[in-house]
Chains A and B, each alone.
Chain A
Amino acid sequence: MDRYEVIVVGAGPSGLSAAIEAAKRGLNVIVFDENDKPGGQLFKQIHKFFGSKEHHAKIRGFHIGEELLAEAAEVGVEVVLGATVIGLYSDKEVSVRIGEEIKHYKGDTVIVATGAAENMVTFPGWTLPGVIGAGAAQTMMNIHGIQPGKKILMLGSGNVGLVVSFQLLQAGCEVVALVDAAPKIGGYGVHAAKVARCGVPFYLSHTIKEAHGTDQLTGVTINEVDEKFRPIEGTEKYFEVDTICMAVGLSPMSQLLKMAGCEMEDNPKRGGQVPIVDEYGETSVSGVFAAGDVSGIEEASSAMIEGKMAGVCVCGYLGYITDEEKDAELLKLEKDLESLRQGMFAPKNRGKLIEKTEEGIDISMNLLKKGYVADDEIERFPGVVHKVGVHPVMECTQNIPCNPCQDACSKGCISIGNNITCLPFIKEDSNCINCGMCVASCSGQAIFLVDEDCGDGTATVTLPYEFLPLPEVGDKGYGLSRNGEKICDAEIVSVKSVKAFDHTNLVTMKVPKEYAMKARFFKCS
């Protein structure tokens, strides 16, 4: 039986982060993952992450995965793939299936970072081929390059549902509806807005009544529900679809911890069965830690910090660093984690209806119900201003911990203020040079460069564009409103794709000037 100082189960964002922290301080670390590729869910994440520089903001998830793998290799982490941990025992012995054999390992410490599994909801027809998890859709598109279907209905408006809907559109699928039983959209408004401006209708307070088909999915009926989630008769709507994606939450895969004898609790706020852990992830079994989604559903950025914390803790546990060193490291990590857990979507605000921003501005109710900020709501937000000449219009209307826009502007036009969750605003006497860095840096694709009056009755709107084929200069089509309706004629006058934009292309369209603050997307005719 091989002995390691640290055994990590799961090579996702938290497991790798933990392994790196331990290995770089000289511990011998082994990481097991049942998949053929390391990185967990990171390699499916093709969108840019939120947060600040320390949280890898504006970097796409799969690039973060590549960085983690390179770092792990550099510090000598041993990653064993195709290695399924089938048992974990309280004396920190681990049994692993590798190939056609069962091998046993003994750890001085064990970090469990097994992540989470997708939830499902049931309705007649839910077992038909074509009804899949949103994660499965992501795997098909972003790992294997296959469209999950042609016409898709998404169930669930949390960030997973919103992000995957956008990726389905990017993959060339038609998303016919985004449905959620909740009365308001669960994920970030900016994620909803970029789906809405492509014309995807949102059906809040709706759920699936029935999926149709015999051998495979052919259609779906949804209906409205009342405040107690009871179906309202006569509200049925039918959609012809070949795929239903479910993004209805995640459950921690915590069975190994239960097997090891860790004290567990059923905590709906953390997503289900989770180990009872201290603030750094140590379970009731001394030397067994949990990090990432397995100890409570959050997202990859916080999972990485939790992993680092567990990694630092095992170094302290085994005497590789002093208590003072450990405390100093943990203090820093705690600050990073705390800054992520701020704003409207912080774990402490889950389930609450927040009606005003931290600045005291009324939240857009249209955004929460329909996925886009209404024309008569948008002007009240600090990022939306009118100026002569080209200037950024930042349609960032909810307090989320994110600040790449502020660092992106070399002219210092954009400020977030004191707090990372504050809404961005344009500094007075700032001088926009139309470089577009802010547009490309915004992970929520919520920044536009607008010249409200070009002098000839037209205006230009520069928007972030992540679809193929790219429009070309001279292409004619329509300006789409924030809810994806054709509202005016538009012509492409510039298309910029430079390396610093990291595949967020900047497309500039010319529209009649009265649509300068209304047209937010382009569709070729």
Chain B
Amino acid sequence: MSVIDRSVDIGGFVPQPDDDMLICRCEEITKGEIRKAVHAGMWTMTEIRRYLRTGMGLCQGQTCSRLVKGIVARELGVSPAELEPATARSPMRPTEMKVLGKEVS
């Protein structure tokens, strides 16, 4: 498990020309929103996910989780490999509540 040193100064948010580019398509989260979230103190993938809902839509992060991780890592100045991915938990695939509630054994 990687440790995030929150005493490091990562500087302020600097706008970039492609900040309006969608990264998480399911939840419609842009690159700028993700970068701003880092500057708002969301330094782990779990925090980012709870704060913005990236990767919590229909595809469950299949497309964007790698992209989001890359953006957060770049903003923090670390390698993406150093960031712990968000928690994996059931249900692994989007599942309607009525199905989830219908357990049979």
Contacts and interface: CB of A to CB of B under 8 A. Distances in A.
Given A100-B102, A124-B21, A251 B66 contact: yes
Contacts of A127: 22, 25
A97 B62 CA distance: 19
Contacts of A97: 91, 93, 95, 99
Q: Which of B81, B82, B98 has the most CB of A within 10 A?
A: B81
Contacts of A259: 88-90, 92
Contact of B103 (A101, A253, A268): A101
A122 B21 contact: yes
Contacts of A519: none
B99 A101 contact: yes
Contacts of B98: 100
B13 to A, nearest CB: 19
A100 B99 contact: yes
Interface in A60-114: 84-87, 95, 97, 100-104
Contacts of A255: 88, 92
Nearest to A249: B66
Contacts of A171: none
Contact of A87 (B64, B82, B90): B90
Contacts of B25: 127
Contacts of A272: 66
B63 A120 contact: yes
Contacts of B95: 84, 86, 97, 102
Contacts of A102: 95, 99-100, 102-104
Contacts of A251: 66
Interface in B39-92: 62-64, 66-67, 80-83, 85, 87-92
B71 to A, nearest CB: 9
Given A100-B102, A103-B105, A85 B92 contact: yes
A101 B87 CA distance: 24
Interface residues of B, number: 31
Nearest to A259: B88
B15 to A, nearest CB: 15
Nearest to A9: B92
A256 to B, nearest CB: 6
B67 A122 contact: yes
B35 interface: no
A104 B103 contact: yes
B23 interface: yes
A1 B91 contact: no
A286 B18 CA distance: 46
Most B-side CB within 10 Å, residue of A87, A101, A122, A253: A122
Contacts of B80: 266
Contacts of B63: 117, 120
Nearest to A210: B18
B1 to A, nearest CB: 10
Given A84-B93, A122-B67, A1 B105 contact: yes
Contacts of B102: 100-102
Interface in A232-281: 251, 253, 255-256, 258-259, 264, 266-268, 272-273
A1 to B, nearest CB: 5
A119 interface: yes
Given A102-B100, A266-B81, A273-B85, A86 B90 contact: yes
A34 interface: yes
Given A85-B92, A122-B21, A122-B31, A101 B104 contact: yes
A266 B93 CA distance: 22
A496 B37 CA distance: 63
Contacts of B100: 102
A95 B101 CA distance: 13
B21 A104 contact: no
Contacts of B18: 124
B104 A86 contact: no
B24 to A, nearest CB: 10
Contacts of B82: 266
Nearest to B31: A122
Nearest to B64: A120
Contacts of A85: 92
Nearest to A103: B104
A104 B83 CA distance: 33
Nearest to A104: B105
A379 to B, nearest CB: 44
B23 A122 contact: yes
A268 B79 CA distance: 11
Interface string A367-395: 00000000000000000000000000000
Contact of B91 (A86, A101, A104, A264): A86
A347 B64 CA distance: 26
Nearest to B101: A102
B49 to A, nearest CB: 13
Contact of B66 (A104, A119, A124, A256): A119
The 6 closest A-B pairs by CB, nearest first: A87-B90, A86-B91, A255-B88, A266-B81, A258-B88, A259-B88
Interface of B: 18, 21-23, 25, 31, 62-64, 66-67, 80-83, 85, 87-93, 95, 98-100, 102-105
9 contacts: A1-B105, A34-B93, A86-B91, A87-B90, A97-B99, A101-B99, A122-B21, A266-B81, A272-B66
Given A119-B66, A122-B31, 12 more contacts: A86-B91, A87-B91, A100-B99, A101-B102, A102-B100, A102-B104, A103-B104, A120-B64, A127-B22, A255-B88, A256-B88, A266-B83
